[in-house]
Structure 1
């Protein structure tokens, strides 16, 4: 068994893991990346379409191009990378147990960055009735078949769910000569970005059926048809709308789930709304020195945003290690130093908001705080209101909101610190609530 020690260990070598590792390295930390695949880059390696990097690099890149820029930086920085290595255990005291072809590894870390990404929801998650034939697969798996393995998933394709991967695959399969019969979405609105609706469906004449879902899977051993039906405002099936569509492939683009089995092993608490860790503004979980970023924290719409968030986590992890190293000296001065006790202020969703990241703030704060959130439904005219009790910290201008778009509001240190010590009726620290309130036209 090989035992190693690093200041910061990053679990996951996708865009989040690489960005976090690079920033921790820039801060002077010794860094290792553990990646279970045989190459860095994560899901970007199979995303051969363009549209990446517009915000971060100010140029339009494919997924592999975006990944390659970071892979080169990781190599140039001399960061240790363990490929084909599976993490099997993570303890609260930052002991990482992993396995690869050389045997067992135990990495001791000053801080951990969780960057394991996410996985697709499958048929079992939504319990579609019917037989269990070949030909039912997730959109991401189909993307790998076509873009990496040069395999053809089928001839007549139906896509369930209007997530971005499904929309992108509708275009990709059409370009490769397959017939995409339609995209069916349970909700009365599309879940993907508008640009993907326009570029991947509208431009290719692929119909999008809203308030419609798959109610049965037909055929065995291979898929022969599916049954679809419209749903009402309560998402109940409208019986008279049932229709059978002959097809040989059903792609599922029905959402993503953060990969947090390791997080739970280390004792990290998860947000029931996102299935990602509960973090503060430094992206630190409730386990000291364990940070989270990217799609393992919450599912993002753009990889550029993943990168920016991960850089913040990498800096925070390196700062944590540095503070731990000088902690002994600081403790010697504690008797004469002013109190540095921080207050924990809960932060959470209010009206029309699904979740917030972070889920708590520490005060006093010396840095501004980025609050990210998504609305629960499309809103044509609404305003963001962030408040603690009767105190309004932020109120935005009325505009439209979509669930597919990650929203961001920045609070200044003064706004946060002004709440320090403010108590609610129960005597507990008053929570900060983020709401998006509809405004009458």
Structure 2
């Protein structure tokens, strides 16, 4: 069986950043497995700008950002296989993949990096009444059809969901000459970045209807209209609040789900909130030598953060491939979110193995104003930082220092939460 030092599953922004970092850390034998026909992942269809401000200190489009990392891979001569689908990974780090040239192949890796990204939640998960006419697309599918395939998906559009892809497609469809009549959001807040609400909706006069959802899709062969209704606190439609829109297209931007079928089949522990793997500060999953990064771990708002986390995962995978784990009996500290903080990444810490500092990223569960972000070591509050606004669409982060954790003594758990005072 062929063996590699580090095998990276996914050739999008996370996989590319992990591969480049693993090479810098000394890994010689690296292989990237990508199911698409080109490297770059979802960034290839994100032709708008706004990428790279943190990583490259300049504003790039999605393809430009991806190309920077593809150049690194080419320069380092890191091999990759395209049009290759991984169908299984095992606990002893065996990987089975299939492609048209080699057929069915099983290889072994000293370390694996999971970088499969995420997928869109489909209409079937929403239980919207009506037929199944043409004209109903997920926002990401519409983005690919417009930006890569060169098709026009519709002229009169309603968008359900205010995630970043939906907001960006509202602007994109407008620039293509379509009329975007409304963006509806079932929650009382938008799921996207504030800058996207301003630049993609407000600048083009597109209304955002919060606490509204689609209750009916009209049309049998092609969408002819939709009906929106206001929802109550239980997200149930309120009779008498219906609004009818004539349209030929409905775009769905109703959430992203980490692509974790491989992780689940390998029996990797998954977080119930993020649907991604539970990881420690090295981005190592519950299976030794298997690391996770990017949107397969938790859905990010900025690709710069994806690259940053992926670089750490790649470096740690390279070290593991070379040295293995030095002390497998080290006690782990639980790290979790409470009181408004939905989750944290990482969820576990090995204090002795952690670097001088780590970045903890998390999201809140509602819109909060004038709240404090607090961190407790066991029951002692050690961080208390005020934030003017906290919103689910904006990822938050804080830094924990190794010296602070070591100085505490018998540390069992770390809690990140929101507080009024």
In the other structure, the counterpart of 2:92 is: 93
In the other structure, the counterpart of 1:207 is: 207
Deviation of residue 366 (structure 1)?
Answer: 4.4
In the other structure, the counterpart of 1:17 is: 15
Between 238-247 and 283-292, report the one with greater CA deviation: 238-247
Between 223-232 and 280-289, report the one with greater CA deviation: 223-232
Q: How does 1:223-372 map to 2 (within 5 A)?
A: 223-324=223-324, 341-367=329-355, 368-372=357-361
Moved segments of 4+, more than 4 Å: none
- Superposed CA offset, 1:342-391 (max 9, x none): 11111111000111101111132441121110010111111111113322
SS of equivalent to 1:300: coil
Task: Decide whether the 8 Å contact of 2:370 with 2:386 is kept in 1.
Answer: no
State the distance in 2 between where 1:187 and 1:319 align: 43
Deviation of residue 415 (structure 1)?
Answer: 2.2
Q: Structure 1 pair 111/6, CA: closer, same or farther in 2 (3 Å)?
A: same
Q: How does 1:93-172 map to 2 (within 5 A)?
A: 93-102=92-101, 103-172=103-172
SS of equivalent to 1:76: helix
Task: Decide whether the 8 Å contact of 1:364 with 1:416 is kept in 2.
Answer: no
Task: Decide whether the 8 Å contact of 2:279 with 2:292 is kept in 1.
Answer: yes
SS of equivalent to 1:343: coil
Deviation of residue 232 (structure 1)?
Answer: 2.3
State the distance in 2 between where 1:415 and 1:359 align: 18
SS of equivalent to 2:226: strand
SS of equivalent to 1:69: helix
State the distance in 2 between where 1:359 and 1:171 align: 37
State the aligned residue count: 418
Q: Quick check: 1:382 aligned with 2:380?
A: no
Q: Structure 1 pair 244/93, CA: closer, same or farther in 2 (3 Å)?
A: same
SS of equivalent to 1:48: coil
State the distance in 1 between where 2:84 and 2:387 align: 49
- Superposed CA offset, 1:298-343 (max 9, x none): 000000110000000000101111222xx7xx8xxxxxxxx88411
In the other structure, the counterpart of 1:427 is: none
Unaligned runs of 5+ in 2: none
Q: Quick check: 1:26 aligned with 2:24?
A: yes
Q: Quick check: 1:76 aligned with 2:65?
A: no
TM-score (norm 1): 0.92
In the other structure, the counterpart of 1:7 is: 5
- Superposed CA offset, 1:261-290 (max 9, x none): 011122211001010000001100010000
Deviation of residue 437 (structure 1)?
Answer: 1.4
State the distance in 2 between where 1:395 and 1:126 align: 39
SS of equivalent to 1:88: strand
Deviation of residue 399 (structure 1)?
Answer: 2.6
394, 397, 400: which one pairs with 1:405?
Answer: 394
Question: What is the alpha-carbon root mean square deviation over aligned residues?
Answer: 1.4
In the other structure, the counterpart of 1:336 is: none
TM-score (norm 2): 0.97
